Structures are given as structure tokens and as C-alpha cells.
Amino acid sequence: MKKTIDVMKEKRTVTDQVKNRIKAFNKLKRLVLKSLESGQKTIPELAKEIDYDIDVITYNLMTLLKYGFIEAGEIDDDDEYYYYKLKNKK
């Protein structure tokens, strides 16, 4: 007898395009979180360190912020960018 999850996997398939996007997001998520382990950073600092476009970093940071992985800190000296840091786990 098959498990329900196995039956559902057979009926519902996910395209390779969606799988690749999820893999890319998870890769970038790991890179961003690892980078923030060493301290807070602005979007341009993260983009330079990880070697991704600022637009991609911004989009993914906002997603991580929305789901509680990170939090915004203070604004930089030029009043342009916020510093982002890992959210304190309690």
C-alpha cells in the first residue's frame, strides 16, 4: 500500500523551472545568512561580498525579512541603506 504523499507526488508534478528557482533562492538564502553571521551589512555590502546584483539581493532580503530570518537595524551614515542582521532567536 502506497503512502498518501507518494500518491500525491505522482499526481502533482513540479516543473523543472520551478525546481531551479527554488534551488537558486535557497542557495542565495544560505549565502546571505552565512554572510550576516559575521555581522550586520547593508545591501551594497552584501551584493559585493556575495557577488550578486543589488536588485537580486534586495528582493531576497525583503523575503527573508518578511519571513523573520533577518531584521533591519540602523541606517548607514549616508542615510541610504539600512543595516541588516540575523534575527535573534529566543
Grid coordinates 534551488 are at which residue?
23
- What would the pLDDT profile of 13-41 be if each residue is shown by its tens digit? 888 999 999 999 999 999 999 999 999 99
- What would the pLDDT profile of 40-79 be if each residue is shown by its tens digit? 999 999 999 999 999 999 999 999 999 999 999 999 888 8
Domain boundaries, the chain: 15-86
**Fold of the domain built from segment(s) 15-86:** Arc Repressor Mutant, subunit A (1.10.10)
Q: pTM for the complete prediction? A: 0.78
CB 75 within 8 A of CB 43: no
Alpha-helical segments (H) within the chain:
4-11, 16-36, 43-50, 54-66
Cα-based distances in Å from 79 to 41, 49, 55, 57: 14, 21, 19, 19
The amino acid present at 46, given as its one-letter code, is L
